[in-house]
Structure 1
Amino acid sequence: MTETTLPDPAVHLSDARELAPDLLVVPDGGVPLVPNIGLIGGRDAVLVVETGMGPANARQVLAFAAEHARGRRLYLTTTHFHPEHAFGAGEFAGEATYLVNRAQAEDLRTRFGGYLEMFKGLGESVAHRLDGVAQPVPDLVYDQEHDLDLGGRVVRLRATGRAHSRGDQVVSVPDADVLFTGDLAEAGQFAIFPWFPPHDADVSGTRWLAVLRGLAERAPRMVVPGHGEIGGPGLLADVRDYLELLRDETWARRDSAMSEETIIEEVSALMIERHPEWAGREWIAKGVGCLCSEHPA
């Protein structure tokens, strides 16, 4: 995408829909750099999942959550540190308890400045959204897993380990059988590989595939992806199958001493042929580059 084609990454709260009692999703509306945002309520508290890009979006999400909570305590979590998911958390300071896993907290501490500058370079609409953004500082940091009791409803936060980023986590609501995946899964687009060596090479295609295999085996009733339409367990299977095919086709060509440029050309053509309706074709090359650097365990 070029600067002239990037729309304003604005969250539209009027599109919120209820997936289960006291469990809402504000969908991304198909707009790039807008995440699916969740509100999960219990008797005593409400958990917000994701903030949207920058302070203005986050303030709207916070106000929406406070209105929905009607006096209940507020919590915030983010599935990973990338700007459209977490670069609004500073607006929740003093209003909500922000909790993430330890690896994500480290990502927020060390990656904030670099990603802020990179995203500001994506275009005026994005830079405007990030104007005045504060570096997020979590209130509560857990290691691998945390069960958050909202009062009559427990939400499970689980760090997955390095995959799309170092600090990915999934958020599950067992009583509703709903899973928030962040960018571990997208609907209707190719997997987003943030492969930008030497500045950022934390994404791991092999680890990502292992995580998706585990998630797909759980087969949750409803899956809220980082971006795209809400789906069922088939969404996770689609991403798993894509990552597996991307790995196999990349490695087969790499092992035959083919140049990376040729691998990208051939694998991209194959993936587009398989999924001509998917968006984000530019991420195929990033995925190939990442997988060319990896080897079987």
Structure 2
Amino acid sequence: MAKAFASQGDLGEKNITFTEVGDGLWAFTAEGDPNSGVIIGDDSVMIVEAQATPRLAKKVIEKVREITDKPISHVVLTHYHAVRVLGASAFGADQIIMGEQARAMVVERGQEDWDSEFQRFPRLFEGHESIPGLTWPTTTFSDDMTVYLGNRRVDLMHLGRAHTAGDIVIHVPDQNVMFTGDIVEYHSACYCGDGHFADWGNTLDNIAAFDVDAIAPGRGDALVGKDMVSAALESTRDFVQSTYLPAARVASRGGSLKEAWDAAREACDPKFKDFAIYEHCLPFNVARAYDEARGIDTPRIWTAQRDLEMWDALQG
């Protein structure tokens, strides 16, 4: 390779913030690193997103213990990616919940994704030796399910394909707050390497229809207030479209992946170059956009070897 992945050189410590997004609802954020959410019920706590390792999960637990001593009963995982799920064992929860499609993707590509992500972005796997293995849910659902934490109702829903085929969102009706996973980002690049560009906008519309008062996004600051929520939804939509359309035009005329990369950079760099993990995401985003535009509906599985081959082609 001419040079390493941008993320391999991203070794700086990130500042953690812990923001209340509603009564008893919190967003754990870290300057563009994977976020987690906290939902406090009458007698127990639900965690949304488990971090990449048990050691990193303990940073979330430390923040939870600053505000409540209630036990952690549930961990909800919005999709299958390693940086979201492999820390789940640290929480000691009674239930680990995923959508049925996300579980199927763990079966199909969970180990390959772990190996690939670890190679690309080693800093996000601090304490990787503490990971006991792939994370498997105790509970799954197809379209929607409701969990009651005492009297607090929490709705889990699949609103459409976007970041992956199996994305779910978590809505807390009593505060009209949503946890969206990586369907929505804020001043952070969307990772689209396993995404569905044609569906993403419709899924954002489905989220917007809830007219929520706050969102804990997948990456970036907590979105508090309807104006901030709307801005993040539109920025996410713009990012996805600005990546896909140039790559699709190149693919439609039989151009190369490298040409698609150059076209996407021309469209995206002026608007998004300062977003967190932009350089890390862009090669994978363009590769997936190029595939989707050529009719490949199911994202091809990323492996550590495929990562390197793709990167070599783009550098050439």
- TM-score normalized by the length of structure 2: 0.78
Paired residues in the alignment total 283
> What is the correspondence of 1:91-102 to structure 2 with a 5 Å cutoff?
91-93=90-92, 95-102=93-100
Q: Is the 8 A contact 2:144 2:155 kept in 1?
A: yes
Q: Which amino acid aligns with 1:191?
A: C
Q: Distance in 2 between matches of 1:72 and 1:42?
A: 10
Cα contact 1:100–1:138 (8 A) shared by 2: yes
Question: After superposition, what is the alpha-carbon deviation per residue over 1:155-211, rounded to whole angstroms, capped at 9, x for unaligned?
Answer: 1111244432232111111221211111112111332122xxxxxxx4322122331
State the alpha-carbon separation in 2 of the partners of residues 189 and 248 from structure 1.
20
Evaluate the alpha carbon distance shift between residue 3 and residue 216 of structure 1 in structure 2; reply closer, same or farther with a 3 A threshold: same
Q: What letter is aligned with 1:211? A: T
Q: Paired residue for 2:201?
A: 209
* Alignment partner of 1:5 out of 3, 10, 17: 10
Give distance in 2, aligned partners of 1:120 and 1:246: 24
CA 106–65 in structure 1, closer or farther in 2 if over 3 Å, else same: farther
Distance 1:213 1:262 in 2: 31
Structure 2 equivalent of residue 167 of structure 1: 166
Q: How does 1:104-143 map to 2 (within 5 A)?
A: 104-122=102-120, 125-134=123-132, 135-143=134-142
SS in 1 for 2:175: coil
Give yes or no for the alignment of 1:219 onto 2:211: yes
Cα separation, partners in 2 of 1:243 and 1:118, compared to 1, 3 Å:
closer
Unpaired runs of at least 5, structure 1: 195-201
CA distance in 2, matches of 1:53, 1:73: 18
Q: Which residue of 2 aligns with 1:270?
A: 267
- On the 8 A contact 2:56/2:87 being kept in 1, the answer is yes
Distance between the aligned counterparts of 1:221 and 1:254, measured in 2?
Answer: 40
Which deviates the most, 131-140 or 116-125?
A: 116-125
> Does structure 1 conserve the Cα–Cα contact (< 8 Å) formed by 2:21 and 2:216?
no
SS state at 1:163 partner: coil
Given that 1:44 and 1:73 are in contact with CA atoms closer than 8 Å, whether structure 2 keeps it comes out as no
Contact 1:188–1:228, Cα closer than 8 Å, also in 2: yes
1:272 and 1:23 map into 2 onto residues whose CA distance is 35
Q: Counterpart amino acid of 2:10?
A: T
Q: Which runs of 5+ in 2 are unaligned?
A: 1-5, 224-228, 298-316
Q: In the TM superposition, what is the alpha-carbon distance from 1:139 to its structure 2 partner?
A: 1.5
Deviation of 1:128 (Å): 4.3
**Where do residues 66-105 of structure 1 align in structure 2 (5 Å cutoff)?**
68-71=67-70, 74-93=73-92, 95-105=93-103
